[in-house]
Amino acid sequence: MDCGMHLHNPQADEQQILQWQTKSEPSYLVHDQRRSANYKPNIWKYDFLESLNNNFDGEYYQIQIQKLIEDVKDLFGECKALGLLAKLELIDSIQKLGLNSYFEKEIKETLDTIASVELKNNSNPFISSEGDLYATALFFKILRQHGYKVSQDVFGVFMDEIGTLKKSTFGDVKGMLELLEASNLAFEGENILDEAKAFLMVTLRDTNTMCGDIDSCISKHVAYALKLSSQRRVQWFNVKWHIKAYEEDNTKQANMTTLLELAKLNFNMVQATLQKDLREASKWWNNLDLTKNLDFARDRMVECFMCAVGLAFEPQYKSFRKSLTKVINLILIIDDVYDVYGSLEELNHFTKAVERWDVRETEQLPECMKICFQVLYNTTCEIAYEIEEEKGRNQVLPHLSKVWADFCKALLVEAEWYNKAYTPSFEEHLSNGWISSSASLIFTHAFFATAHEERMDEFLHKNEDLVYNISLILRLLNDLGTSAAEQERGDAASSILCYMRKVNASEEIARKHIKGMIDNAWKKINEKCFTQVPEISSFINITTNIARVGHNLYQDGDGFGDQEQGTRGQIQSLLVEPLS
């Protein structure tokens, strides 16, 4: 079906949806009984979102931030006199404070110089009779994060004859903490890092619990890293935490005052941009008024916007955030159509409509499902048109409609399992679940919406396993975070239940196994991320952020299902409250 009229006339789209809505009938007339997930009402009200304005925009702040950027650039020159460790600490601080994009040239020049001198013979520049664990781990972490070939063998001096950390390192909590962070950048087969991580997870937890003489600032960093490593965290979501941690640190590096001043102003200016984006997204969602007809579905626009921010927070990705917020909203709604609302017959019709990209296939559906398809159709056509106009790409819509069809077909398989009371094998669940996780759908939109020259088929040929592992992580994280609630309402089996049945194991053992699978998938992602050509490193980071957003959403339960327990505090901190 031709999308032309929808692409060029979004007002007609809204009018069409309004016509569907005004003639829609109550759902009880379509079916006597529908399932319910009992999702709580949305807590973020339209008027409140419209009121958000922290005032940190305009020429005055642009002048201020440019001056601070120049001041920080001067710090690179000062660090030359201070030595290698000071350079690495400056780069590390810049990354933690979300300021990378301002200093890409300076960081690359500094690391190129370090690599040309220090990596010639795969040496460790911090080796002495005992070695410096903190400096070595920081050296390894920074160079690997930026794609330089650095071997795990730099840690050999800290290992004893049986391959575990020497007892002489046990008192160096700061060094062990940095090694723990470095170990989360491991590739497959890097056994030194694997052994170090296993040992440190136990040792640091015990040290933090039992030793009262650890510096309180270090203790907070240890607890933070034990909960989730920096490699698996969304960078922007943690900037505020790092700012406050640096402010509390009495041993912070020299020249930190200027860097913190820049970080605070940058945070507030980015927040001002995101508030504008959120107000636009809120208007779009409010005008659609979908919750009136789809009251069984999750109303989580702000959380969807936060996910888009997690993939790309920088101001230049405004258009991408706008489209991705819409996409993630539709993912939630369609997921609830399949999980909660539709009968199997209705879901077959809906899947055919998406697969054929034809509104005529929805004629037999309840009005609310017709509206859902119409919104999906119009929104996708609009996004494809905008990408083609802004990025100069061709034939975007066939790719976008295909991944929506793949997503819906995977959801249909799960609906069939539920209706047949069928528990799939663990392998069956994962082979379908990596697609129903929606990560590949989000990836495809990100691929076309961000600027790079590579063709989709060429990129996937080289990086199919990257997309799969990110999708697998999202599926497993979702299952870990939502399985209890889904089991309670009788949904299709999660990976946890499937694995329990496969090996006749307890839930605790199943969860441990699945966390191990997530660890292994991250090693594969690491190798892809840190060996890419620089030209696509920004896009690779955006793609990897899909997995990081998954960790953020499901770390403490279901971030979409329970707003109060999950994401409320984080949204308040990142989108509402500026730094003073």
> What string of pLDDT tens digits covers the 580 residues of the chain?
455 434 444 444 444 444 444 343 333 333 446 777 678 889 999 999 999 999 999 999 999 999 999 999 999 888 777 788 999 999 999 999 999 999 999 999 999 998 888 776 556 666 544 568 999 999 999 999 999 999 999 998 888 888 788 888 888 899 999 999 999 999 999 999 999 999 999 999 987 765 555 677 888 999 999 999 999 999 999 999 999 999 988 666 667 899 999 999 999 999 999 999 999 999 999 999 888 889 899 999 999 999 999 999 999 999 999 999 999 999 999 999 999 999 999 999 999 999 999 999 999 999 999 999 999 999 999 999 999 998 888 889 999 999 999 999 999 999 999 999 999 999 999 999 999 999 999 999 999 998 667 788 888 888 999 999 999 999 999 999 887 766 666 667 899 999 999 999 999 999 999 999 999 999 999 999 998 777 788 899 999 999 999 999 998 888 787 777 768 999 999 999 999 8
DSSP state of 102: G
Query: 3-state DSSP call for residue 374?
Result: helix
For tokens 């955030």, the residue is 321
Q: What angle do CA 392, 146, 140 make, to 5 degrees?
A: 165
CA atoms within 13 A on the CB side of 141: 27
Q: Which residues touch 330 (CB under 8 Å, ≥6 apart)?
A: 375, 376, 379
| Tokens encoding 526 | 């690491």
- The answer to whether 220 and 245 have CB atoms below 8 angstroms apart is yes
> Residue 564 to residues 41, 340, 503, 554: CA-CA distances in angstroms?
11, 22, 36, 14
- Dist. CA 151–CA 115, nearest whole Å: 12
Any idea how long the chain is? 580
Determine which helix (DSSP H) or strand (DSSP E) holds 445, and give its type and residue range. Answer: helix 439-449
- Dist. CA 318–CA 194, nearest whole Å: 39
- Dist. CA 47–CA 222, nearest whole Å: 40
- Dist. CA 475–CA 212, nearest whole Å: 39
103 C-beta neighbours (distance < 10 Å), count? 20
